[in-house]
Structures are given as C-alpha cells and as structure tokens.
C-alpha cells in the first residue's frame, strides 16, 4: 500500500446557485458552500486523516474551501501549492451566462453537447479532454510522486478538473466520465498501491 489521495470539489458557489456557467471566473462561495466545505473538513477529521501537503487551483472558491477544511482538521499551517493546472474547465464564451439563456441562444442539443460531451469544446473554451490534457501531466509530475512516497495529499479543486483525475484513477472512458457527478464539498478518499493503481476508494457522503 502506498499513500492516500483526497479529492474535494469546492462548496457551492454563488454562480452554481444562479445556474451560471462559471469556468475561470471567480465568484465566492454561498453560505451553503461555506457550510459544505466545513462539513468536508469534519468528515475528514472523523476519519483521522492528517495531510502532508495540499494542492488547489488559483480560483478563490477552491482556496476558501481548502481553508475551511484545514481549519476544521486543525492543520491551518499546512504547505499548500496553488496552480492554474487545477482550475475548472474554461467555458469560454459561455462563462457568466445563465444555462437556460444559453439554451435559448444555441439550442438545447448544442448546449447539452458542450456540457456533456467528452471532446467538443464550447466556443473559445475547453472540452473535458482539453481540461484533462493540463490536469493529467500536473498530477503525474507533482501530486502522484508524493502519494507514492506514502504521503497523504489533499486536492481541493473543481468539478471538471477533479473529473479528469477520477477518469484516470478509475480508468473510465470518455463516455463513462461524462456521466459521473462530483458533489460539492464531498470528499473522495483514494488509497493507492505502489504501482499507482487504486487499492480502495471511499466517498464520504452524508
């Protein structure tokens, strides 16, 4: 058995609540989002998990979520690395638009393709495959080596950047990963084998 990798999507953001495409825009957390992040910290504390290092994106909703988790687990001084590679998928021209308004403008089917296909990007933005193309090399170079050394690594990021990691860890196809939902503030705890395969996976819901 090697180390432990914990993935947490940020708590609900103001734009999640308003049904807006967010991407690289930087809204804050809602009151519910702050509570979700604190609850994630409590769940991880109840599991007795102590982190060696944390990674997050350059977007505040992920960073604030991480701060809440570290406060709840009593690890506020933990070394933290922020990198754009872990940012949410860039929604390009859709960013800031209400999802219903986007459907009226481009049509239900086209917006569904942009949101749920694996490799069709919205105008000026990234597909899930594009997102993975920046997340995977960063994971391989910066995160995985620490886990394989036996460290416990926390990653607080976003629905689609974490979806990219889950796709690789769970060995899912492009068709399979687009059906996977990652809940806000729900920790996913992976324990990895020495060959980087998954020994166990636990989703800390409820």
Structural domain boundaries, residue 53? 6-91+132-203
64 located within any domain: yes
pLDDT tens digit sequence for 29-61: 999 999 999 999 999 999 999 999 999 999 999
Total domains in the fold of the chain: 1
Q: Any idea how long the chain is?
A: 206
Q: Is 10 a catalytic residue?
A: yes
What confidence tier does 22 reach under pLDDT thresholds 50, 70, 90? very high
Question: CB of 184 within 8 A of CB of 17?
Answer: no
Looking at residue 66, which CATH number applies to its domain?
Answer: 3.40.50.1240
85 located within any domain: yes
115 located within any domain: no
109 located within any domain: no
Question: CB of 83 within 8 A of CB of 179?
Answer: no
* Catalytic pick among 36, 72, 88, 126: 88
Q: Is 88 a catalytic residue?
A: yes
60 located within any domain: yes
pLDDT tens digit sequence for 146-200: 999 999 999 999 999 999 999 999 999 999 998 999 999 999 999 999 999 999 9
What is the Cα–Cα distance from 184 to 117, expressed in whole angstroms? 21
Question: CB of 147 within 8 A of CB of 4?
Answer: yes
188 located within any domain: yes
* Catalytic pick among 10, 36, 126, 158: 10
123 located within any domain: no
Strands 53-56, 80-82: pairing kind? parallel
Question: CB of 88 within 8 A of CB of 59?
Answer: yes
pLDDT of residue 127: 97
29 located within any domain: yes
């Amino acid at each position: 058995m090697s180390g432990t990798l914990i993935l947490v999507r940020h708590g609900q953001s103001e734009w999640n609540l308003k049904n807006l495409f967010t991407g690289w825009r930087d809204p804050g957390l809602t009151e519910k989002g702050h509570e979700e992040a604190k609850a994630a910290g409590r769940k991880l504390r109840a599991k007795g998990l102590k982190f060696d290092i944390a990674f997050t994106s350059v977007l505040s909703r992920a960073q604030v979520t991480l701060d809440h988790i570290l406060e709840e687990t009593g690890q506020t001084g933990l070394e933290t690395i922020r990198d754009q590679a872990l940012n949410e998928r860039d929604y390009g021209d859709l960013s800031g638009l209400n999802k219903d308004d986007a459907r009226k403008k481009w049509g239900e089917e086209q917006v569904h393709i942009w949101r749920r296909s694996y490799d069709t990007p919205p105008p000026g933005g990234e597909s899930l495959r594009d997102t993975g193309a920046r997340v995977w090399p960063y994971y391989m170079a910066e995160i995985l080596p620490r886990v394989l050394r036996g460290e416990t690594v926390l990653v607080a990021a976003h629905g689609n950047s974490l979806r990219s990691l889950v796709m690789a860890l769970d060995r899912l196809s492009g068709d399979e990963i687009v059906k996977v939902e990652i809940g806000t503030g729900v920790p996913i705890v992976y324990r990895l084998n020495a060959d980087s395969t998954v020994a166990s996976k636990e989703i800390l819901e409820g």
